[in-house]
Chain A
């Protein structure tokens, strides 16, 4: 009669019932090695439970409890608090204001042609450049690999676009020679689901874009106009 290690663990965790439990119990009773394994399993379980118990016993930080108790409206209104929350959380987008005007467009998100990292000599390669030249945020096709997150005007006056995709994401600015890559990130996976969320690296890129920008992101109309003028 053999007892698998999975069965033995299940037995130690009280998962087995009826005949199966009886069979394993008999085997454990007859074999000190098996009994030792059950003992070790339970000892580890107790050790881990003890190890993590202090976290559950500690008072819940206010910032977490507040999420559940504070009226939702207050979060929007209180700027100082919103700022503090941003600073305590890496992954809260730090690019709230820049996306505002582009939001309507980005609801229609998303994806573009299969992208490439486009890192030859600091400029976007022809494929990526074609995407950056032609695609408007509002016009994107679901299911492709690269999406343009938003467009903005940098402090020097150049038009720049934030893009993201499996092949890599980044910020590219249009100068006389083409789309100069200002920043490269990891990009995010290109799943064609109903909704997409900006990944952590997208957030970093958008935060960077916010630093570079001289104003909010272009809305759909301004973006179309910039495209019509060749992004110059």
Chain B
């Protein structure tokens, strides 16, 4: 599982929107996985199982936390802009981050699983708990939305 950690952190950062929140999500996922390790079936893929745990926590947290997050969005955005004169690299990063944050959760998840984590549609669908066709169409909708938002920043 240690070998999986870098990938899990990447997925978590993508879901949560930034590496710090991603690491919190990662920690919760690891703790839940350790607590439930007897449920993992030998012979099945450990990575898919971990990703599924993580996305389930993220979905649950999202439901509970949406209102709270919305309350603080303006404050955070203001703080970032008034920050320490972020480098251009950080600005470029934030185009993608901001665009990803605007995607509905199911589309963001599909885009991350396929385009960043490199899962086949079938595996990604199993992680997301949806049919392959559904995953395919979420991916296309998410992709189109991203392209529309990022189009001018290539």
Interface membership of B39, Cβ < 8 A:
no
A67's partner among B10, B27, B115, B139 (CB-CB below 8 A) is B27
Q: A48-B146, A52-B116, A60-B9 are in contact. List 20 more A-B contacts (CB 8 A).
A: A6-B133, A6-B136, A9-B140, A48-B111, A48-B112, A53-B10, A55-B13, A56-B9, A56-B10, A58-B9, A60-B6, A68-B5, A68-B34, A91-B24, A186-B64, A186-B68, A199-B60, A200-B64, A200-B65, A201-B64
**Which chain B positions have C-beta within 8 A of A61?**
23
B2's partner among A41, A69, A189 (CB-CB below 8 A) is A69
Per the 8 Å Cβ criterion, residues 126-154 of B in contact with A are 133, 136-137, 139-140, 143-144, 146-147, 150, 154
CA distance A125 to B118 in the complex (A): 53
- Is B63 within 8 A of A64, CB to CB? no
- Is B1 within 8 A of A55, CB to CB? no
Interface membership of A194, Cβ < 8 A:
no
- Is B64 within 8 A of A188, CB to CB? yes
Tally of A-B residue pairs with Cβ under 8 A?
Answer: 104
Per the 8 Å Cβ criterion, residues 41-73 of B in contact with A are 60-61, 63-65, 67-68
CA distance A60 to B2 in the complex (A): 9
- Is A55 within 8 A of B9, CB to CB? yes
Interface membership of A83, Cβ < 8 A:
no
Supposing A44-B143, A51-B93, A201-B64 touch, asked if A91 and B115 sit within 8 A by C-beta, the answer is no
Tally of chain B residues near chain A (CB < 8 A): 47
Min distance, Cβ A192 to any Cβ of chain B, angstroms: 16
Per the 8 Å Cβ criterion, residues 38-71 of A in contact with B are 40-41, 43-45, 47-49, 51-53, 55-58, 60-61, 63-65, 67-69
B115's partner among A45, A53, A58 (CB-CB below 8 A) is A45
Tally of chain A residues near chain B (CB < 8 A): 39
- Is A44 within 8 A of B13, CB to CB? no
Min distance, Cβ A122 to any Cβ of chain B, angstroms: 22
- Is B143 within 8 A of A10, CB to CB? no
Interface membership of A20, Cβ < 8 A:
no
- Is A47 within 8 A of B96, CB to CB? yes
Min distance, Cβ A179 to any Cβ of chain B, angstroms: 25
- Is A9 within 8 A of B143, CB to CB? yes
Interface membership of A13, Cβ < 8 A:
yes
